[in-house]
Amino acid sequence: MDFSIGIKGQDYVILAEDMNAAHSIILNQQDHTKMLDLNDHLLLARTGELGDGVQCAEYLQKNIQLYQLRNGYEMRSNAAANYIRKYLADSIRSQEPMNVNILLAAYDTISKEPQLYYIDYMGSMATVPFAAHGHGALFSLGIIDRYYSRSMSRDEALSVLKKCIVELKKRFIVNYTSFNVQVVDSQGIHQLDRIVA
Amino acid sequence: MSRRYDSRTTMFSPEGRLYQVEYAMEAIGNAGTCLGILASDGIVLACEKRITNKLLDEIFETEKLYRLSADMVCSVAGITSDANILVNELRHIAQRYQLQYQEPMPCEQLVSQLCDIKQTYTQFGGKRPFGVSLLYAGWDPHYGLQLYQSDPSGNFSGWKATCIGANNAQAMSTLESEFKEGITLEDAVPLAIKIMHKIMDQNKLTAEKLELATVTRSDDKTKMTIIPREKLEKLISEREKLAAAEKQK
């Protein structure tokens, strides 16, 4: 029942995610953050099983930090994305697969390019201009298709994001009260205002 | 006195030395020389071949130079069979990294991981260390062109110019005086030949006994070029002319 969405621009990637923490029909928390900074230029938004998500995201974060400590430089965005993908690909082939879908927003400081990776729990990965996980994706992708352009500004991207949220509010059965929004650019990871539906 | 403490690799001597590691380095001190120079636009690796019997069938292109990955090559000095094991391991390490991260392994990480393995043979297990020193030349997007050297103890360091194998001390002192910051490959190759010529003075330097390769970057690709025999012969004869002229002065 989670929903995450990412939009990539010329020099930024915006990630937004619902803030519900629910188990079956019970809503435990309405302001739960499901995004994690993996390093200064990598932001991970996870959807799926809550416990698995925390395990997975923290394990990845610590290993990416370890790489940086060992080598003196950050893991590059493409390397990190592939590392995460392989971790999930190995997980699905194990006795206890992780049920976690990921959107990875990255800024590569060497090539100076923003990047958005769509990775699912089976370890499939795609580099995309925009993406979404969850049922909400069915409502959102068509809207972004209609309004997206690579050169759009951050405000324009946010307004498209808001259009998606309005649509979800109207037509999706699950009530999301608020959305956590963050952006990754050359300066790092920044928190933007929450969007209240 | 040292006899008591040198048969077990995992024992320090009373003076705090690891004799097996030192003996391994002795073995390398008698092996064919390898020289590396890091120029501003490339790296040159020059190696002395010891196995030059004319009955040998040429199956491999090179005796002492090995390609480790798309962006790294190495040259070895020491026990050839030990070297084969290490080169195989280096190739595995590089490919495992590439499988996980889908990017070429950065140079220092590759050297460092092999050296961690070499170190274990000096601390536990009861097996002797590898009798090989290696020179690594490669490129990565973090630090560009790099030259590293590692020895049986598992120590490694980055160099602008270095030498391993027989007569390496003589080569190093020559390099110290002749190496100039910002040297280009065009000057580094003759310099490498000059030094090899000097230290192989006893056994005359011929193109047969030399393996020379350059590592360069062009079109976003790393290239290892093995200098062909004809070119080597030309470079050597040029060096001999210069040496004769210097002697006359």
Does residue B4 register a pLDDT over 70?
Answer: no
Distance from B41 to chain A by nearest Cα, in Å?
20
Mutate to test the interface with A, among B103, B140, B220 (most CBs of A within 10 A): B103
pLDDT tens digits for range A14-43: 999 999 999 989 999 999 999 999 999 999
* Chain B interface mutation, best of A66, A74, A76, highest count of B Cβ atoms under 10 Å: A76
- The pLDDT score that the predictor gives to residue B5 is 63
DSSP H or E segment with residue B147:
strand B144-150
How far is Cα A143 from Cα A127, in angstroms, rounded to an integer? Answer: 19
CA distance linking residue A128 with residue A104, whole number of Å = 10
pTM of the model: 0.90
CA B148 to the chain's CA centroid: 8
Q: Indicate if the pLDDT at residue B172 is higher than 90.
A: yes
Chain B residues with CB-CB distance to A80 below 8 A: 101
User: Residue B55: is its pLDDT beyond 90?
Assistant: no
Hey, are the CB atoms on B103 and A76 less than 8 Å from each other?
yes
How far apart, in whole angstroms, are the C-alpha atoms of residue A33 and residue A20? 8
Choose among A70, A73, A78: nearest Cβ to B103.
A78
* Residue of A63, A66, A78, A82 to mutate for B, most B C-beta atoms under 10 A: A82
**Parallel, antiparallel or unpaired: strands B34-39 and A21-23:** unpaired
Q: Which amino acid is at A84?
A: I
Residues B89-104 have pLDDT tens digits of 999 999 999 999 999 9
**What is the predicted pLDDT for the residue at B50?**
85
Say if the Cβ atoms of A73 and B142 lie within 8 Å.
yes
- What is the pLDDT at residue B154? 96
Percentage of residues in chain B with pLDDT exceeding 70?
96
Contact state of A86 with B99 under an 8 Å Cβ cutoff = yes
Which whole number is the average pLDDT over B154-159? 97
Q: Among candidates B75, B150, B66, B79, which has minimal Cα distance to B108?
A: B150
pLDDT tens across A172-194, in order?
Answer: 999 999 999 999 999 999 999 99
Residue A66 touches chain B, beta carbons under 8 Å: no
pLDDT for residue B116: 97
**Which residue is associated with the tokens 């140079």?**
B107
Q: How far apart are CA A181 and CA A83, in angstroms?
A: 25
pLDDT computed for residue B58 by the predictor: 77
pLDDT band at B7; cut points 50, 70, 90: low
b/e burial code for range A58-79 (CB count within 10 A of at least 16 → b)? eebbebbeebeeeeeebbbbbb
pLDDT tens digits along A115-172: 999 999 999 999 999 999 999 999 999 999 999 999 999 999 999 999 999 999 999 9
CA angle A45, A15, A163 (to 5 degrees): 130
Of all residues in chain A, what percent are helix, strand and coil, respectively (each to 5)?
A: 35, 35, 30
- So what's the pLDDT on residue B2? 57
Sheet holding B132-140, edge to edge: B65-69, B72-78, B132-140, B144-150, B156-158
Mean of all residue pLDDT scores within chain B = 92
A159: tokens are 């307004």
* CA dist., res. A77 & res. A42, Å (int): 7
Whole-number Å distance between alpha carbons of A167 and A48: 22
Q: Nearest Cβ partner of A83 from B101, B108, B109?
A: B101
A150: which 2 tokens? Answer: 């690579």
Contacts of A143 (CB under 8 A, 6+ apart): A160, A163, A164, A167
- For helices B107-123 and A50-71, the axis angle rounded to 10 degrees is 90
Measure Cα distances from B205 to B45, B240, B242 in Å: 16, 10, 14
- Cβ atoms of residues B240 and B74 within 8 Å: no
Q: Give A184's contacts (C-beta < 8 A, 6+ positions apart).
A: A12, A13, A15, A41, A42, A43, A105, A106, A107, A114, A190
Q: What is the pLDDT of residues B195-248, one digit of tens each?
A: 999 998 666 888 888 999 999 999 999 999 999 999 999 999 999 899 889 888
The answer to whether B106 contacts A76, with C-beta atoms less than 8 Å apart, is no
The amino acid sitting at B219 is D
DSSP letter at A183 equals E
Residues B106, A71: C-beta atoms closer than 8 Å: yes
- Considering only CA atoms, which of A196, A18, A13 is closest in space to residue A118? A13
The share of chain B scoring above pLDDT 90, in percent, equals 77
- Residue A81 pLDDT > 90: yes
